[in-house]
Amino acid sequence: MREREHAFIIPNSLILNYVIPRQSYAVPLPGKPPLLVGERCLVMGILNLTPDSFAEEVPVRDAAAAVDAALRMEADGADLIDVGGESTRPGAEPVTAAEELARVIPVITALAGKLRVPISVDTYKSDVARAALAAGASIVNDISGLRRDPALAREAAAAGAALVLMHTRGSSASMYAEAVYGDVVSEVVAELRESMRLAIAAGVPIERLIVDPGVGFAKRAVHSYGVLARLPELAAALDRPVLVGPSRKSFMREALGGAAATERDWGTAAAVTAAVLGGAHIVRVHAVAEMAQVVRVAEEIRRA
């Protein structure tokens, strides 16, 4: 006797809850067309100009190599390039503004005439932001959410730049000691709202703000996974474009059997897929060519 065939029916309510519609935004940029986010998830390529980056086997050694790397990322599918001159990994030593400027300004100046995609500067220092915007950057990516140097918001406002506000707590040395949450998403939302308030009070229009929940920053692994799992809730609460940066971070280490940072691209692919399905507008990644493919397939899943 043949086994009875069973039809499994998924309720429409579950389907609707699985993939949340992603709000579209037009983020104004100085001297460029607006950054259109929402139709698809954009890929931000990471260009680290630090000798102590946690995630690269071979650091970028000079401006010429950095320019080549950025152009390669653009060719591989990057929609934005994020240029950083100071490592913000846990335990990293801070660098002076002068050292950071010496690392990033020659590269941004050279890239401004070559890249078609917008340039972001990854800094929390107002002096560095001002010089980088004058050199050709159009976005400031502040990992401190204006907690370290609130004057940075005034520089973004004066230049008409977009501003990414990331959630973290404390310094690179103290962030894990401050990773104590009752409800991680509600607390991240509340603290990002305060960063948004500071930016708006300094003259940055809300239309220019992008938020980043800070996966891996001042969060234990369980908190980072929780943020990724509840990304639609966070996006709905803040009503701004959401940038997610899980690339090669240590929250994946235990799940990947202790893999080193440079061996976490498969784990990053899983986190990027979750971010796209959860409604992320931008993902910030190291392996641009590979993660651009991941994003494209994840977008097809959303559309289906």
**CATH code, domain carrying 275:** 3.20.20.20
Which of 284, 296, 302, 303 is catalytic? The answer is 284
Half-sphere exposure of 70 (CA within 13 A, CB side): 30
The reply to whether 219 falls in a domain is yes
The reply to whether 36 falls in a domain is yes
The reply to whether 8 falls in a domain is no
Backbone conformation region of residue 216, classed left if phi is above 0, alpha if psi is from -120 to 50, else beta: left
pLDDT tens per residue, range 202-257 = 999 999 999 999 999 999 999 999 999 999 999 999 999 999 999 999 999 999 99
Terminal CA-CA length for the chain: 37
The reply to whether 12 falls in a domain is no
Q: Is 125 a catalytic residue?
A: no
pLDDT for position 185: 98
pLDDT for position 177: 87
Number of domains making up the chain = 1
pLDDT for position 20: 67
The reply to whether 105 falls in a domain is yes
Segments of the chain scoring below 50 in pLDDT: 1-8, 10, 12-16, 58
Q: Is 197 a catalytic residue?
A: no
Which of 22, 208, 249, 264 is catalytic? The answer is 249
Domain range holding 124? 29-303
